[in-house]
C-alpha cells in the first residue's frame, strides 16, 4: 500500500481542520478564552524569595543536585535581579528555599558596588 503525501489531499485536510475547529469552537462557545496560567491548577505560594534587603524579581533558579557545604540536596537557589527600588540588574542576593523545612534563608549577598564593575546609569 502506498501512502500519498499530505499535500496531494488539501481538501481533505482543510475539511478535517474545519470540522475539528467547528467541534472545538462549538463546545467552548460559552466559555471565555483562558490564558495559559489560568489552566494550571496546581500552584501554591510556598515562600517569598525577597530577602530582608528588599531585592526582588527572581531571575535564575537552580536546584541543588547533592549536599554541598551548607546547601542540601533539592534546595532551590533563587537570584534576585532587581534591588528594592526595582532597578533592573542591581539585585545583590541569592536565597535558598528548602522544600523540607519550607523556609527561605539568605544564601549569598554581594556588595552593591564592586570596584571591577562600572555603576549602572
Cα(14)–Cα(9) distance, integer angstroms:
9
Residue 116: what pLDDT? 79
Q: Which three cell numbers stand for residue 67?
A: 549536599
CA separation, residue 12 to residues 9, 47, 52, 54, 101 (Å): 5, 52, 62, 59, 58
Residue 93: what pLDDT? 94
Question: What is the chain's pLDDT, residue by residue, as a tens digit (121 residues)?
Answer: 454 444 444 444 444 444 445 444 445 556 676 788 778 777 788 888 889 999 999 999 999 999 999 999 999 999 999 999 988 888 999 999 999 999 999 999 988 877 777 766 6
Residue 64: what pLDDT? 97
Residue 112: what pLDDT? 82
Amino acid at each position: 500500500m502506498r501512502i500519498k503525501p499530505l499535500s496531494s489531499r488539501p481538501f481533505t485536510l482543510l475539511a478535517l481542520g474545519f470540522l475539528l475547529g467547528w467541534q472545538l469552537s462549538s463546545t467552548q462557545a460559552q466559555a471565555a478564552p483562558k490564558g495559559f496560567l489560568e489552566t494550571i491548577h496546581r500552584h501554591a505560594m510556598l515562600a517569598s524569595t525577597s530577602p530582608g534587603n528588599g531585592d526582588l524579581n527572581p531571575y535564575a533558579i537552580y536546584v541543588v543536585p547533592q549536599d554541598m557545604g551548607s546547601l542540601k540536596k533539592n534546595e532551590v537557589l533563587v537570584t534576585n535581579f532587581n534591588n528594592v527600588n526595582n532597578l533592573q540588574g542591581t539585585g545583590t542576593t541569592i536565597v535558598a528555599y528548602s522544600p523540607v523545612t519550607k523556609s527561605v534563608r539568605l544564601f549569598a549577598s554581594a556588595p552593591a558596588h564592586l570596584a571591577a564593575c562600572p555603576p549602572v546609569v
